[in-house]
Structure 1
């Protein structure tokens, strides 16, 4: 299956470089490029890409607002894309806001070419976090600064013991295969647990589930 990609960045050289790199990869095709958030929203609605590379800071409409519009559950769409935020700084409240809005992860703009390709393939598959140690650190840093969400405890109580075990391991950045090996269960069983717990906590993907785990205190930053 070919992974379709939309690139949104206000720097033409960045867009062109990323497009050339990704188009050269087997199984990846760049559908279009956008110079700002408004163009990105329009292109996403028109083309329904699998993955969007979205710059955090852009004119007209910033990346966070664009993510919210693209992933708005009330907006008609063929399917919800996975969105990777492009940023210059990892500890960035804009990045955390984007993750809360539904982005599947973030990538530093100076990442190596192979990291970009791996990131696109990883989020398209949807069964692991991008750079778990960095993602976890960003989520833990900002989650600790805000009050616990209302009803979080009640929602957490709906999870079975096994679903909690899976969620804790997701928060550690483990993939489905790693969770299966750690819990001595089948990978398909892990996928089933992940699907059920995402539905119970109202999370659209792993990143939002990890945010929930830190928000509720189920996961804690490493000492």
Structure 2
């Protein structure tokens, strides 16, 4: 059973998402919050597998709430909800530690698949959309937030190469075909990259790659 915390300042939105999720035998809504501060408190108390997080909310916005949940070392993975696919708030949430983002008008089937994917920690949600988001806003990162990152020093040349392809939105199968490797080998490389850098998932790896200028927009 995958447990989910719903966070949105509009009650009707929470009710709608809740009805979709509770109709699934493997998903359970364990709590709801109308602002970021309440979300952080409930995440600490309930320790859900996934937090479905709006970004624009009163008291504490979704970006700050995401940062606090990640900083607290909670097992919860944050899936951000946004109105626009190229949203600076969504980009900030990814940098703060969110595992992916979805549009609020996404189809129910895609929402359910995304929650299950994030809960497994297997892959980033909509990798190519995430890539477009990263490319759009990474270009405007201040110089002090980019440049050499010592976390890359522990990676082998092959792992850096794989990380670059992850940041470009390629799946394990696509990376395997491009580098003429087995998919299992690529999966092993990705696992080692995450372990060596202390990152939680592919989304965070992609953010690191852009911030460290391992890959550049365009």
Q: TM-score, normalised on structure 2?
A: 0.89
Aligned to 2:41: 42
Work out whether residues 77 and 118 of structure 2, in 8 Å CA contact, stay in contact via their aligned partners in 1: yes
Q: Secondary structure at the match of 2:154?
A: coil
Q: Distance in 1 between matches of 2:172 and 2:47?
A: 26
Deviation at 1:115? 1.3
Q: Does 1:211 align with 2:210?
A: no
Work out whether residues 127 and 176 of structure 1, in 8 Å CA contact, stay in contact via their aligned partners in 2: no
Give the CA RMSD over aligned residues: 2.1
Matching of residues 153-192 of structure 1 within 5 Å: 154-180=150-176, 182-185=178-181, 187-192=183-188
Once structures 1 and 2 are overlaid, which stretch shifts more, 107-116 or 170-179?
A: 170-179
**1:139 aligned residue (117, 131, 134):** 134
Work out whether residues 41 and 70 of structure 1, in 8 Å CA contact, stay in contact via their aligned partners in 2: yes
Deviation at 1:193? 2.2
Q: Distance in 2 between matches of 1:164 and 1:28?
A: 36
Q: Does 1:130 align with 2:136?
A: no
Deviation at 1:158? 2.8
Deviation at 1:153? 5.1
Q: 1:150 to 1:137 in 2, by over 3 A?
A: closer
Work out whether residues 146 and 212 of structure 2, in 8 Å CA contact, stay in contact via their aligned partners in 1: no
Deviation at 1:47? 0.8
Deviation at 1:54? 0.5
Deviation at 1:179? 3.7
Deviation at 1:208? 1.6
Deviation at 1:183? 4.2
| Post-superposition CA distance 1:50-103 (Å, at most 9, x none) | 00100001111111111111111xx3x6x4211111111222211111100000
Q: Does 1:65 align with 2:64?
A: yes
Q: 1:151 to 1:144 in 2, by over 3 A?
A: closer
Deviation at 1:185? 4.4
Q: Distance in 2 between matches of 1:50 and 1:56?
A: 19
Deviation at 1:186? 5.0
Once structures 1 and 2 are overlaid, which stretch shifts more, 26-35 or 189-198?
A: 189-198
Where structure 2 has 5 or more consecutive residues not aligned to the other structure, the ranges are none
Matching of residues 26-105 of structure 1 within 5 Å: 26-72=25-71, 75=72, 79-105=74-100
Q: 1:183 to 1:26 in 2, by over 3 A?
A: farther
